Structure 1
Amino acid sequence: MNFKRAILGFVKWVLTITYLVIALSFVSKREHQVTCSGINIEISDSLQNAFITKADVLRTIERYHSNLIGIPIKIINTLKIEQSLGEMQAASKVTVYKTSNGKLSVIIEQRKPMVRIINRKGESYYIDQEGQILPLSSKFTSHVMIINGNIDEPYKIEPYIKITDWAKDSNKETLPLICKLFDFAKHINSDKFWSAQISQVYVDDSNNIELIPRVGPHTVLLGSLDEYKEKLEKLKLFYKNALPEEGWNKYKQINLKYRNQIVCTKR
């Protein structure tokens, strides 16, 4: 009885292995026969950010291969396509894969501009949330906070530069102003109240930084960026407690430079 069971088990095992070998050979043969019938492109946040278009993606893919349509899907090197698309300045993450019906799927996540810089020389560029520099686009303008004025960067403005790299070997005294401004912009962007209120930052020098709000005909003299979180908290209390009673049109400037006090200049 045990012998028969052993024989039966062995036969089942052989049949299973034979089935798998035949199935795999069939799949392999079919994969060789399947040709690329199209390219599906998905670009995240394409309504909010249009730095990368489907046409840009197709042009980049065509540099790898002039025409993928009609060639065996098996010979397409998705890794090389990912690497090529990953070199696009506005691409944050790229995924390329093949589907069983012969489609090539491309998914791209775009970098999200956080702030636009216009420096002393008139050079303009974006910085994303990771500190990556992004060039302006002729096809799209991102509506983010603007920081302009007397700004000198310790580097040549080029793609792939990260602002955060310049902060690694710096202390509080030697930290470049652009790094401090990036940190300030991150704080504004992460706060629902301030991201809705502050539209522009003007830099006269490192000790005289001015905020231009969306609401109210006044400007805010922040002074330096030292202890800016405490200064903003003080300003928020002033907005909530004083301005509703005194009126938003009463002052032309709100000065936060002095410790523990707010100095206002009437219109």
Structure 2
Amino acid sequence: MLRKFGYSWLLLKRSLWLILPIAGIGMAESRLGTQRCNDLVITIEGDSGARFLNQMDVRMLLTENGGDPLLGNRLKDVALNDLENRIRRNKLIKKCQVYRDLRGNIVVEVEQERPLARWIGTSRNGETQSTAGHYINDEGVFFPLSESYSARTLLVSGSFFNDSKKMQTTEGLSTRELLQFLNTDPFWKAQVAQVDADKEGEIHLLTVLGDQRIEFGTAEDYQSKFKKLRVFYDKVLSQDWSRFKRISVKFQDQIVCE
């Protein structure tokens, strides 16, 4: 009899371990179903040096420029997927997640785009034609300029960087890796002012010191080309930065200067 009672008590305890969490979840869901939106909590992640959007910008996207204020609405009536789609329509935003918390807030987490480079239009003599253009991210995707913020990033020009399809090719991948190298290497980040690439992917580098134009060739094997250039800079150009105006490393195992 005692064994039977002990078994029943054990079964009851195990049942309670299952029933209580389910009941708690049900109570929480019931509370959320009647709870109204208290606030919009917005966080923006991304490069701390680039602020294409602020919290007010995101709030205006979220509420359709104030047409759908959300505050005071019942949380169960708020379509979170629709809110995410509203925000994702802005091309300056890379990722977005919208959810509700237990305090009755609608929480919005936004990751803004990070520019790898900025494309600018140029004339035949290399002068910038206008301030129009677009940014390119590390995946080769274009996104528009911001009306409120201009990111300090590497400038690129030429038809290759204005063709989104070419940025997704093998040549485009190598070129993006070259741009990433220029953004992270301290010496070349300070020395290269602009990268120009024609429709075939032939690259020219415009420098800061010496005002040289470097014929780089394609981005293929870019690391060895930069190693050759660095040796040339250290041993030759460091003695006289204005000695040459044109430098070519497009041919294997040689540097041609004028």
Q: Which residue of 1 aligns with 2:94?
A: 92
Distance 2:25 2:232 in 1: 72
Distance 2:7 2:252 in 1: 89
**181 and 16 in structure 1: CA distance in 2 versus 1, 3 angstrom threshold:** closer
Structure 2 gaps of 5+ residues are: 124-128
**Identical counterparts, % of pairs:** 23
Q: Are positions 1:125 and 2:146 aligned together?
A: no
Q: Please state whether the residue corresponding to 1:261 is helix, strand or coil.
A: coil
TM-score, normalised on structure 2? 0.78
Q: 1:231 Cα shift?
A: 2.5
Distance 1:259 1:136 in 2: 38
Distance 1:152 1:15 in 2: 66
Distance 2:252 2:14 in 1: 82
**118 and 154 in structure 1: CA distance in 2 versus 1, 3 angstrom threshold:** closer
Q: Aligned match of 1:142 in 133, 138, 151?
A: 151
Q: Please state whether the residue corresponding to 1:109 is helix, strand or coil.
A: strand
Paired residues of 1:218 and 1:253 also in contact (CA < 8 A):
no
Q: Which region of structure 1 is more displaced relative to structure 2, 97-106 or 222-231?
A: 222-231
Q: Are positions 1:76 and 2:85 aligned together?
A: no
Distance 1:260 1:18 in 2: 75
Q: Are positions 1:38 and 2:39 aligned together?
A: yes
Q: Cα RMSD (Å) of the superposition?
A: 3.3
Distance 2:251 2:121 in 1: 27
Q: 1:190 Cα shift?
A: 4.8
Task: Kindly provide the amino acid, as one letter, of the partner of residue 41 in structure 1.
Answer: I
TM-score, normalised on structure 1? 0.76
Q: Which residue of 1 aligns with 2:126?
A: none
Distance 1:154 1:57 in 2: 28
Paired residues of 1:116 and 1:146 also in contact (CA < 8 A):
yes
Q: 1:39 Cα shift?
A: 0.8
Q: What does 1:172-191 correspond to in 2, within 5 Å?
A: 181-182=175-176, 184-191=178-185
Structure 1 gaps of 5+ residues are: 156-160, 169-174
Paired residues of 1:40 and 1:104 also in contact (CA < 8 A):
yes
Q: Which residue of 1 aligns with 2:241?
A: 248
Distance 1:25 1:204 in 2: 62
**163 and 82 in structure 1: CA distance in 2 versus 1, 3 angstrom threshold:** farther
Task: State the number of aligned residues.
Answer: 248
Distance 1:208 1:62 in 2: 46
